Amino acid sequence: MSRIKNKIVLVILLIPVWIIIYKSLKTISDFIVFRVFQMTPETHLTETIRFFIYEVPKVLMLLVLIIFIVGIIRTYFSPEKTRKALEGKSLFAGNVMASLLGIVTPFCSCSAIPLFLGFVEAGIPLGVTFSFLIAAPMINEVALVLLIGLFGWKVALIYVITGLAIAVLAGFILEKLNLKRYVADWVYKTHAKQSLSEEVTMTFNQRISSGASVVKEIVGKIWIYILLGIAVGAGAHGFVPDEYLAGALGNQHWYSVPLAILVGIPLYSNAAGIIPIISVLIEKGVTLGTALAFMMSVIGLSLPEIIILKKVLKWQLIGIFIGVVATGIIMVGYIFNYIAF
């Protein structure tokens, strides 16, 4: 790859190849199942294997493409630039901007603390910082890919819009509650002794390399969860009768949404493992609102991140934070269970 000087040319050549393979996946998987394996159609086992052979390459291909594109977009953003953009913004506009920037700014929950401190030090309001910290993990490219791949554009878009709404409103409410006193005391005493030197500008070739290395890193880390998630999903797809879960988690019970959230918080799965399973839950009778709520609580309210934040926030604030976000997620769940669909 390093021999090719101009990576843009390589990328342009690879895109049609990607599209052709992606478009033929259904034919290829049917060929493998019915011609190569000679399986009888319509049996449980056939449906399970067919689902697996079709979904795995589909999701992996979508992941590679979207993580690559997002990886390139992210080279144009950094927490430092985001902080600068948010400085001195008025409250509501600041929340909206922080949530939007949360999607595109490179973020890893292990960096949540330095980012939090950096924002606080720049005088960015607590609520605006929270909007960022809610949106950044909840709306991530892996979740987006899996939602597009397994549910379609419409559900993916609903997820992004409602996720943004929760981040904006929760941040706004948290600011209005005036919770500064629940931030660990040392936070406001920390001061940087130097400011970071200027950003280096990258060439487009470097941005492409950066996108490629992000693909390698993320796909290398999550492919196993995707495989496992789709395997469980495929098993359920083939063997669990349709509407099986409609009784416990269908929309006739008011408690299904809060229950899904409670179960979701301690479950620390990245989007990669959980979304394939959820897609099958929906097939088996779980309503969309309950599934969305479950997904958001697994991805957006994760126990490890809460533990990390415990270093800078007192437990009262963590409690209020979880409460406000969970309320937002519950509302999303009910809205989609009872009103929209």
Partner 1 sequence: MEIKVLGTGCARCKSLEKVTTKAVNELNLDATIEKVEDIQKIMEFAVMRTPALVINGKVVITGQVPEISEVKEILTNNI
Instruction: Give residues in contact with partner 1 (CB under 8 A).
Output: 78-80, 83, 106, 108, 110-111, 113-115, 117-118, 121, 186, 190-197, 311
- Residue with smaller CB distance to partner 1, 6 or 206: 206
Is residue 288 within 8 A of residue 336, CB to CB? The reply is yes
Q: How far is the CB of 271 from partner 1 (least distance, A)?
A: 19
Kindly tell me which of 117 and 142 has the beta carbon lying closer to partner 1.
Answer: 117
Q: Which residues of 31-57 are buried (b: 16+ CB within 10 A; e: fewer)?
A: eebeeeeebeeeeeebbbbbbbbbbbe
Q: Which is nearer to partner 1, 181 or 193 (CB)?
A: 193
The dihedral of CA 45, 18, 213, 295: what is its sign? Answer: negative
What's the min distance (Å) between Cβ of 193 and partner 1? 5
Sign of the dihedral through C-alpha 97, 115, 333, 173: negative
Q: How far is the CB of 98 from partner 1 (least distance, A)?
A: 14
Q: Which is nearer to partner 1, 148 or 212 (CB)?
A: 212
Q: Is the CB of 111 or the CB of 269 nearer to partner 1?
A: 111
CA 159 – CA 167 distance, rounded (Å): 12
Length of the chain: 341
Place of tokens 């690559």: 68
State the minimum distance, in angstroms, from the CB of residue 188 to partner 1. Answer: 12
- Beta carbon of residue 135, minimum distance to partner 1 (angstroms, whole number): 16
Q: Quote the distance between the C-alpha of residue 193 and its chain's center.
A: 35
Distances (CA, A) of 302 to 23, 133, 162, 261, 265: 36, 12, 18, 11, 6
